[in-house]
Amino acid sequence: MTLELPHIEIIGYCAAFLTTTAFLPQAIQSWRTRDLSGISLGMYSLFTAGVGLWLIYGLFTEKWPLILANALTFALALSILLLKLRHTSKRRK
């Protein structure tokens, strides 16, 4: 099966939409409740760094589905990570 470039791009945009949208419920719940007890600091640190690297990769390869999805997901993940860090530092004081 051979797909032309526009079809491959559509697949990329669909994947970007689904994976970024799937992340929204966690972000919204974290912002609303400020309850981050179930969030692993290590996992979110690694996840956010990984998404940041995917974003950089997308920028260098000029792949817009990668750039858009990872820019949005990076912003969401970073906001949750910062909330977790703030929550963790308050508990230690």
Per-residue pLDDT of 52-87, as tens digits, reads 999 999 999 999 889 999 999 999 999 999 999 987
* pLDDT (tens digit per residue) in 5-56: 788 888 888 998 998 899 899 889 988 998 888 889 999 999 999 999 999 9
CA angle 16, 38, 43 (to 5 degrees): 55
Answer for the pair 51, 75: CB distance below 8 angstroms, yes or no.
no
Question: What is the band of 1 on the pLDDT scale with cuts at 50, 70, 90?
Answer: low
In a domain, 19, yes or no: no
Which CATH number belongs to the domain containing residue 47 in this structure? Answer: 1.20.1280.290
Residues 6+ positions from 29 with CB-CB distance below 8 Å: 35
| Gap between the Cα atoms of 4 and 42, Å rounded | 40
Please tell me what DSSP assigns to residue 74: H
**2 found inside a domain:** no
pTM assigned to the model: 0.82
Q: Give the number of domains in the chain.
A: 1
Question: DSSP label at 39?
Answer: S
Residue 23: inside a domain: no
Tell me the residue range of the domain where 47 lies: 40-88
52 in any annotated domain: yes
Q: Is there a domain that residue 69 lies in?
A: yes
